[in-house]
Amino acid sequence: MSTVYRQVTLSNTYNSSKSITGFILLGFTYTGETQKLLFMLLLTIYILTLLGNGSIICAVCWDKRIHTPMYILLANFSLLEICYVTTTVPNMLAYFFSETKVISLSGCLLQFYFFSSFGAAECLFLAIMAFDRYLAICRPLHYHIIMTKHLRNRLVVNCWVIGFLWYPVPAIIISQLSFCGPKIIDHIVCDPSPILVLTCTPAPKIEFTCSLLSSMILVVPFIFIIGTYTLVLKAVLRIPSGRGKRKAFSTCGSHIVVVSLFYGSAMVIYMRPRSGNEAETQKIVTLFYTMVTPFLNPLIYSLRNKEMKAALKKVLGHENESLCKRYPLSSS
Domain map (residue ranges) of the chain: 22-305
What integer pLDDT is reported at residue 261 of this predicted model?
A: 85
CA–CA dist 26, 8 (Å, integer): 11
Q: Is the dihedral of CA 212, 213, 218, 223 positive or negative?
A: positive
The contacts of residue 43 (CB under 8 Å, 6+ apart) are 93
DSSP 8-class letter at 304: T
C-alpha distances (whole Å) from 69 to each of 129, 215, 265 are: 9, 28, 27
Question: Helix 204-237 and helix 105-138: axis angle, to 10°?
Answer: 20
Say what the pTM is.
0.83
Q: Is the domain covering 22-305 a CATH 1.20.1070.10 domain?
A: yes
3-class DSSP state of 132? helix
* Alpha-helical runs (H) found in the chain: 3-16, 32-62, 69-86, 89-94, 105-138, 143-146, 149-165, 168-175, 192-196, 204-237, 242-271, 278-287, 293-303, 306-316, 318-326
C-alpha distances (whole Å) from 172 to each of 20, 91, 216 are: 21, 22, 19
One digit per residue, pLDDT tens: the chain, 332 residues? 444 434 444 444 444 333 336 788 887 777 778 888 988 999 999 999 999 899 889 888 888 888 888 889 999 999 999 999 999 899 888 888 777 788 888 888 999 999 999 999 999 999 999 999 999 888 888 999 999 999 999 999 999 999 999 999 888 888 888 887 678 888 888 888 888 888 887 878 888 888 888 889 989 999 999 999 999 888 888 877 777 777 777 778 788 888 888 888 777 766 555 555 566 777 887 888 788 888 988 888 776 667 777 777 776 665 455 444 544 443 33
CA–CA dist 304, 294 (Å, integer): 16
C-alpha distances (whole Å) from 283 to each of 190, 191, 235 are: 11, 11, 41
CA–CA dist 164, 80 (Å, integer): 12
Question: Helix 69-86 and helix 105-138: axis angle, to 10°?
Answer: 160
CA–CA dist 302, 2 (Å, integer): 44
